[in-house]
A = this chain, B = another copy of it.
């Protein structure tokens, strides 16, 4: 007997994704994991504000958190019970591929990313 999703379950996910910042965070994570400082720079928002949004996403297990040294990387949790709903929603959002490419090309992307990438290559 599979547990049926309730209206409350769906409404909770929608409430979580109904903030434009959190929604775009997930759209970015759909492409690649990000660390907190990258989000801070991308959204031009304060670090506590970003951390608080990420905490909500993490508490709901929509994203997964992984510490690597000083940095904490976030990624989509593809095993979330509502992953199908979440993907359907994200597919209705503007693709962030071009935005990420522009960001990379701009040279504004924070150094932690390249550090980590360089670090992982060394292993």
Give residues in A with beta carbon < 8 Å to B: 4-8, 10-12, 14-15, 17-20, 23-24, 27, 82, 84-85, 88-89, 92-94
With both beta carbons as reference points, the residue of chain B lying nearest to A88 in the complex is identified as B88
Task: Flag if B92 contacts A85 (CB, 8 Å).
Answer: yes
Q: Is the CB of A5 within 8 A of B85?
A: no
Q: Which of B11, B20, B24 contacts A23 (CB 8 A)?
A: B11
Q: For residue A27, which residues in chain B have a CB less than 8 angstroms away from its CB? A: 7
Which of A4, A10, A84, A93 lies at the interface centre, i.e. has the most chain B CB atoms within 10 A of its CB? A10
A15–B82 CA distance with the chains assembled, in angstroms: 17
Most B C-beta atoms less than 10 A away, residue of A11, A15, A17, A19: A11
